[in-house]
Structure 1
Amino acid sequence: MGIIQDSLDKAAEHTVTRPAPRTAPAQMRFLVRTAKGSTRAVAELLGVSQRTVERYVKAQIKRPRPELAARMEREVRRRWQPRVRERARKRAATTGGIVIETRARFGFTAAPGTTDDGRIRRITQALPPRYAARLFDAETAGATEQQLRDIAAEGLQEIYFKDRGRRADGLQVEFTDIEYVELDY
């Protein structure tokens, strides 16, 4: 996964209203419940035997190996409160928008006489709902990391650098050398 995709996932995790199960047996029971009671499907998902899943469900095993614990934690986080996450995404895509905070190199293609040398900038900017909707749609469609970066760069270009069309006409922004990106909605 890429840095934008990871940031979208983290932002979705911040929308949940209740904490996810913490113990290994509780996490395993949750995964089995989301798999409609199929311990075989959970076993295939986690790369363990079906019997191991059953033993976790019955709390006969309580402490998983570190790599299994990480896989269980990741899968629980991905599946925890899907309707709450979907409502938050819908709200961001229709009314709320998305806030992007980044430290990255921004280069420009602009009119003659201006500098186009890229430089590292730290930017925190609220993007309108249309950019949130485009990011979510692209993510759902399986867009590449570069396509997600292009959407974020276009949003920053229009809102931050061009000030919604009030200045810097013809400016094209390049979003590279990303140190970090945090999204919130």
Structure 2
Amino acid sequence: MAVQFMSPGRQRTAEQRLFTALEKTADQVRAGLTATARRTLPARLATPHAQVAYLHRRAGGSTRQVADQLGVHPETVRRYLKGLRKHPPADFAARLEAAVRSLYRPRPRISQAQVDQAMCARGLRANVRGTFGFSSTGVGTSDDPRERWLNEDLSRETSRTLVDAWHAGDGTRALQLVSDGVAQSYFRFDPGMEAGMSHLSYIDFEA
């Protein structure tokens, strides 16, 4: 059952709602990816030697300052800098990593491709308020398509195609994908059944 809106103006409004919801979700996903990247130390700071050396550089080469920061003797810092010690005790390793994290301020560049992949990894969950109707050879046709609040999971494939339609600016295609995806999930199609959305008054997504 194709999406059939009452007027071109109403369809444009629905497209705008849909695209705004996708933009909002993309922004949320990007923020999450950025936060994760900022919490993750890069491989170049993975070893105690590299971490002590990083603190040493940030301290302007002051061994004493690093030692005070970590609560150890300056000679301990020197031994890590020279690679003479490689396996710190657990408490020192924790203080060392915490000290590095307190100074490390990466500026990760999250690409749109990474955002799209994360949005579609499990399939988008669509939270929709819209008018849905159905017809079926088994149970007949709904007498009066009605407004429903639906919270349904779109497949990964549908989510990926929806994101592609969004990037292409194809609002009609995007609405059809949402209509079909939500209807199929909600009505649990039987053979010969068709269902679709004829109006969209609210939508948001969860990735």
2:156 is aligned with 1:129: yes
Q: Which residue of 2 aligns with 1:149?
A: 175
Pairs aligned (count): 118
- In the alignment, structure 1 segments of 5+ residues that lack a partner are 20-80
Q: Distance in 1 between matches of 2:167 and 2:196?
A: 24
**Which has more radius of gyration?**
2
User: Aligned-residue CA RMSD in angstroms?
Assistant: 2.4
Q: Per-residue displacement from partner, 1:89-125 (whole Å, max 9, x unpaired)?
A: 11333x3110100111101232265232201110011
2:186 is aligned with 1:160: yes
- In the alignment, structure 2 segments of 5+ residues that lack a partner are 1-14, 36-107
Q: Per-residue displacement from partner, 1:67-86 (whole Å, max 9, x unpaired)?
A: xxxxxxxxxxxxxx872553
Q: Which aligned pairs between 1:68-79 and structure 2 lie closer than 5 A?
A: none
Does the CA contact (< 8 Å) of 2:125 and 2:206 recur in 1? yes
Q: Which residue of 2 aligns with 1:100?
A: 126
Q: Distance in 1 between matches of 2:145 and 2:185?
A: 18
Compared with structure 1, are the counterparts of its residues 82 and 147 closer, same or farther at alpha carbon in structure 2 (3 Å cutoff)? farther
Q: Which residue of 1 aligns with 2:26?
A: 12
Q: Which aligned pairs between 1:25-174 and structure 2 lie closer than 5 A?
A: 83=110, 85-93=112-120, 95-111=121-137, 113-116=139-142, 117-143=144-170, 145-162=171-188, 167-174=189-196
If the length of structure 1 is used for normalisation, what is the TM-score?
Answer: 0.56
Instruction: Tell me the amino acid that sits aligned with residue 195 of structure 2.
Output: V
Q: Which one has more relative contact order, counting CA pairs under 8 Å at least 6 apart?
A: 2
Percent identity between the aligned chains?
19
CA apart distance, 1:176: 2.2
Q: Which residue of 1 aligns with 2:65?
A: none
Instruction: Tell me the amino acid that sits aligned with residue 89 of structure 1.
Output: D
Q: Which residue of 2 aligns with 1:2?
A: 16
Q: Which residue of 2 aligns with 1:58?
A: none
